[in-house]
Amino acid sequence: MRKEQILTKIEKFKRCGQRFLPEPVCEEILSFYDIPTPPAQLARESGEAVELARQIGFPVVLKVISPQIIHKSDAGGVMVNLKSEEEVERAFRKILENAKSYNPKAEIEGIYVQKMAPPGREVIIGAVKDAQFGPVVMFGLGGIFVEVLKDVVFRVAPIDEEEAREMVDEIRGLPILKGVRGEKPIDFDSLSQAISNVSRLVVDFPQIEQFDANPVCVYPDRLYAVDARIILE
Ligand code: ADP
Ligand code: MG
CATH code of the domain occupying 121-232: 3.30.470.20
Expressed in angstroms and rounded, the spacing between residue 3 Cα and the centre of ligand 1 is: 27
Expressed in angstroms and rounded, the spacing between residue 214 Cα and the centre of ligand 2 is: 5
Report the topology of domain 39-116: Dna Ligase; domain 1 (3.30.1490)
What pLDDT, on a 0 to 100 scale, did the predictor assign at position 162? 98
pLDDT digits (tens, 9 = 90+) for 125-162: 999 999 999 999 999 998 777 777 789 999 999 999 99
Q: Is the pLDDT of residue 97 over 80?
A: yes
Q: In testing the pocket of ligand 1, which one of 227, 229, 231 has its CB within 8 Å of the most ligand atoms? A: 227
DSSP characters for the chain?
A: -HHHHHHHHHHHHHHTT-SEE-HHHHHHHHHHTT-----EEEESSHHHHHHHHHHH-SSEEEEEEBTTBSSGGGGT-EEEEE-SHHHHHHHHHHHHHHHHHH-TTPPP-EEEEEEPPPS-EEEEEEEEEETTTEEEEEEEESTHHHHTS--EEEEESP--HHHHHHHHHHSTTHHHHH-STTPPPP-HHHHHHHHHHHHHHHHH-TTEEEEEEEEEEE-SS-EEE---EEEE-
Which are the contacts of 184, defined by CB distance < 8 A and separation ≥ 6? 220
Q: Is the pTM of this model over 0.85?
A: yes
- Residue of 222, 30, 37 lying closest to 121 (CA atoms): 222
Q: Is 224 exposed, middle or buried (0-12, 13-18, 19+ CB in 10 A)?
A: buried
- The residues facing 8 across adjacent strands are none
What pLDDT, on a 0 to 100 scale, did the predictor assign at position 1? 52
What pLDDT, on a 0 to 100 scale, did the predictor assign at position 52? 98
What pLDDT, on a 0 to 100 scale, did the predictor assign at position 150? 84
Task: Give the nearest ligand 1 atom to 72 CA.
Answer: 3
pLDDT digits (tens, 9 = 90+) for 48-95: 999 999 999 999 999 999 999 999 999 999 999 999 999 999 999 999
Q: Is the pLDDT of residue 31 over 90?
A: yes
Ligand nearest to C-alpha 114:
1
What pLDDT, on a 0 to 100 scale, did the predictor assign at position 145? 74
Q: Ligand 1 in contact with 119 (CB < 6 A)?
A: no
pLDDT digits (tens, 9 = 90+) for 161-220: 999 999 999 999 999 999 998 999 999 999 999 999 999 999 999 999 999 999 999 999
The pLDDT-based confidence of 44 (bands split at 50, 70, 90) is very high
What pLDDT, on a 0 to 100 scale, did the predictor assign at position 142? 87
Q: Which residues surround ligand 2, an ion (CB under 5 A)?
A: 214, 227
The full set of domain ranges for the chain reads 39-116, 121-232
Mean pLDDT computed over 21-26? 96
